[in-house]
Amino acid sequence: MGGVALKDWKEQIRDPKIECMSRDEMSALQSERLVKQVKNVYENVEFYRKKMDDLGVEPGDIKGIEDINKLPFTTKEDLRDNYPFGLLAVPQEKIVRVQGTSGTTGKLTLASYTQKDVDVWGECVARGLTMAGLDATDRIHVCYGYGLFTGGMGLDFGAKALGAMAIPMSAGNTKRQLMCMEDFGATAFACTPSYALYLAEAAEEAGVVDHLQLKASINGAEPWTDEMRKKIEGILHINSFDIYGLCEITGPGVAMDCIHHKGLHVYEDYFYPEILNPADHTACADGETGELVFTTLAKEGMPLIRYRTKDLTSIEYSICECGRTLPRIQKFTGRTDDMKVIRGVNVFPTQVETALLSMGGGVAPHYMLIVDRENNLDVLTVMVEVDEKYFSDEIRKLDELKNRVGAVLKQALGLAVKVKLVEPKTIQRSEGKAKRVIDNRDL
């Protein structure tokens, strides 16, 4: 826990009518919105009209949210095939902004927004900021990148909707970030969890932690663990919150965890979640891990039906201690496309992070996975930074630590790995999404 005890934390709900709505009321609202949205995309988006026709489905077949499984899926490849404006459901002159993420093909994955879409986005982020105990009196230091990436603008829109002060720092220049946090009296900051840890370590090293007025951090855009959250909280004496979103759906603000940290509340009045088996697309039971699929129930500019996120999680529908009835998705075990199959074993970077942070000292939570193929066999090497407090030139102690790390990772991953210990601060830090895996196999 951070500097503010849970019993003293100001529990706030921005929109109790929606966030505490009964399941029956929510299903009725979702059904009403889905029926309208399906009719909308069938009439206005050629891509969806063809997809539905191919399946023999017409808008009249969708009578409620229970019929969503009759509808076609949408993938990132579909977005690229229809780049830049092929999935619009409104005339281009109604689009007030675009956001995008870089793609492997060199083309962006582009999302388009009407003014109403921007307003909904800001409102959803504001709900999350309220979960973090923030209000109009707060000053939110945003060190997500501004530009086509949704992080900076999303938090900016949320701060505006909340009435709080936004400090639009963008990414980079850590020394300047810390100076401005202190000088401007920032009470919260937003960035990726890996950069939050980097900022925390830099603040500790510079001796400025006690000069900061921070009480919360809003961290997302990459998978992270509770162990990393506690590390950030422990250094800065704050509460850290996990925010989730993706450009294709809206950006940050699709879901966020509350002070109880028992899953991320999904704003299901706008984004309908399904958890499906990635292999056969059947629905997973509550609590069972599968691929997260979203339908945008009210988006105007570029609505998406059953968009496959590739993020792996589970969902819980019980009422949270905070009083919200919104379902909670659990922290992501990874993505279907960042999972590496090594000698038949599924490996996610977050498993390595959890294992290293569970060791209680000796190594820092900065690591890199390198996958090679030697003599037709997969070889996983894990580079791990040695903690400065434990760093020693004594070969015997380093060998002991290396063996201990190897044993912990073997237990966590279910396979033996090579461990390479490196000096503190030698693994490159990222101000955006941390790169955790280098796969040298020709697969």
Helices (H), 68-192: 76-81, 115-131, 150-162, 174-184
The 10 Å CB-count burial string (b at 16+, else e) for 207-239 is eebeebebbbbbbbbbbbbebbbebbbebbebb
d(C-alpha 245, C-alpha 253), whole Å: 6
- Find out whether 14 and 262 touch, Cβ atoms under 8 Å: no
Q: How high is the pLDDT of residue 435?
A: 79
d(C-alpha 247, C-alpha 433), whole Å: 14
Q: How high is the pLDDT of residue 443?
A: 55
Mean pLDDT of the chain: 91
Mean pLDDT of 80-89: 96
Mean pLDDT of 272-294: 95
- Find out whether 213 and 186 touch, Cβ atoms under 8 Å: yes
d(C-alpha 238, C-alpha 132), whole Å: 11
List the domains of the chain with CATH numbers: 6-22+112-335 (3.40.50.12780), 340-439 (3.30.300.30)
Asked if the model's pLDDT at residue 52 lies above 80, the reply is yes
- Residue-wise pLDDT tens digits, 127-172: 999 999 999 999 999 999 898 989 999 999 999 999 999 999 998 8
pTM of this prediction? 0.82
- Residue-wise pLDDT tens digits, 285-327: 999 999 999 999 999 999 999 999 988 999 999 999 999 999 9
Q: How high is the pLDDT of residue 320?
A: 96
Phi, psi dihedrals of residue 378, rounded to the nearest 5°: -75, 135
**Counting runs of H as helices and runs of E as strands, what totals does the chain give?**
11, 21
Between 206 and 9, where is the model more confident? 206
